[in-house]
Structure 1
Amino acid sequence: MRLDKRDEGLADALVAGGLEHRRAATELRHDLAELPAPPVLPAGWTLAAPGWDDDLARACDAAYGPDHPDGRWQSGHTWQIRAMFDADDPVPPLRSASARVVGPDRRSAGHVLCAGPVPWTDDVCGWILNIAVAPHAQGIGLGRALLTHALRGTREAGLPTLGLSVVDGNPARRMYDNAGFRTHTRVLSVLLPADPVAVTAGE
């Protein structure tokens, strides 16, 4: 079991008491007031309608390698995204803010997937669930193009803000900061023991 807390002091106290610190992340928000201009894509690259295909699954698997701060891409991630597009489960994709990036070979090499408004935030906002670009397509501005599309598509949908969660150590954090995202809150995840009696509060 995992406990997600916004209280950094409480999370530190639980870890000091013997629990395992699983993940530290920062929730960011963009107020959509000033948006970056859409970048010019490299020759042969285009943004395409959101969706899921085998090429995109391979791109995400490659993007989330063994050294990624969020860990490897899992089959469950693919299942969750397919469920969003096939059954709006647990939430439907925000199509105006989601897109695939397609290369000169017409194959998907990355995407941004958004939803909104989402039920797990304390404010009304769109949310970036996943943004990824395959390693062979990185370094040419595709991530920034996908992020800009998400910002503009969220405002087009009439939502006041766009949020995301970025794990500590993820190099994409610089791209989010440069695009105008600002810190909303910290979220720290602590693993709970199988036997809850093993933890006594306040001791």
Structure 2
Amino acid sequence: MELPKGYTIRRFRPEDLPRLLEITDATFGPVSIDGNMERLLGPFSPGGWRARKREAIAEDCRAQPDGVYVAVDPRGAVAGYVTTRLNPATSVGWVPNLAVDPAHQRAGLGRALLAHALERMRQAGMRVARIETLEQNPVGQKLYPRLGFREVARQIHYAMRLDGAGGEESGGSSSES
């Protein structure tokens, strides 16, 4: 997969993490389960959806740092990233996160990052790759099939308040005795 002119892809370095978190903040709000929960249920944790998503990205970087790749622009700044998890026991590679800074979007960088991750999975002996996207993410819904992914299932996520805020303390109520 051809990279936009002047860009390179390399492995994640620990000093990249702050930039990955900035990109996360700029891209995942409209297309994250954490953002959806907060919009529906209101704030419920310190730092909101951003803190929860940032922790997920940091965990990807801690768990399998060799499976995190960054795209670097011609000036040397990180412009996007992809995180992967490999399970040799099942031969399945998973792409939990793919993000490109809005200033670098629409140039093929996300496609190049994903193609790079898939090639690394092949080299590591993975036989299947999986990725997920939300219904409200039209970019992912178009990109992933173009790269060969096939829809396997649709999943519905539910959430509820347990602290009584918003009148949703219990999972269900019934007027029947």
Secondary structure at the aligned position of 1:113 is classed as: strand
- Cα deviation for residue 115 of structure 1 reads 0.4
The answer for unaligned runs of 5 or more in structure 2 is 37-48, 161-167
Return closer, same or farther for 1:168/1:84 CA change in 2, 3 Å cut-off: closer
Q: How does 1:32-181 map to 2 (within 5 A)?
A: 38-39=1-2, 41-51=3-13, 52-65=16-29, 68-70=30-32, 71=35, 74-86=50-62, 88=63, 92-93=64-65, 95=66, 97-117=67-87, 124-171=91-138, 172-181=140-149
How far apart are residue 77 of structure 1 and its match? 2.1
For residues 75 and 158 of structure 1, what CA distance do their matches in structure 2 show?
34
Task: Give the residue type in structure 2 aligned to 1:46.
Answer: T
> How many angstroms does 1:100 deviate by?
0.2
How many angstroms apart in 2 are the aligned matches of 1:50 and 1:157?
17
Q: Which residue of 2 aligns with 1:191?
A: 159
Q: Which runs of 5+ in 1 are unaligned?
A: 1-37
The structure with higher relative contact order (CA 8 Å, sep 6+) is 1
> Is contact 1:98-1:153 (8 Å) kept?
no
Structure with greater helix share of residues: 2
Alignment RMSD: 2.6
- 8 Å CA contact retained: 1:98, 1:149: no
Percent of matched pairs sharing the same residue: 29
State how many pairs are aligned: 151
Query: TM-score normalized by structure 1?
Result: 0.65
CA contact (8 A) 2:61 2:68 kept: no
Moved more, 127-136 or 44-53: 44-53
- For the structure 1 residues 185 and 118, does the alpha-carbon distance in structure 2 shift closer, same or farther, using more than 3 Å as the test? farther
Q: In the TM superposition, what is the alpha-carbon distance from 1:144 to its structure 2 partner?
A: 0.6
Q: Of Structure 1 and Structure 2, which has the larger fraction of its residues in strand?
A: 1
For residue 132 of structure 2, what is the amino acid of its counterpart? Answer: S
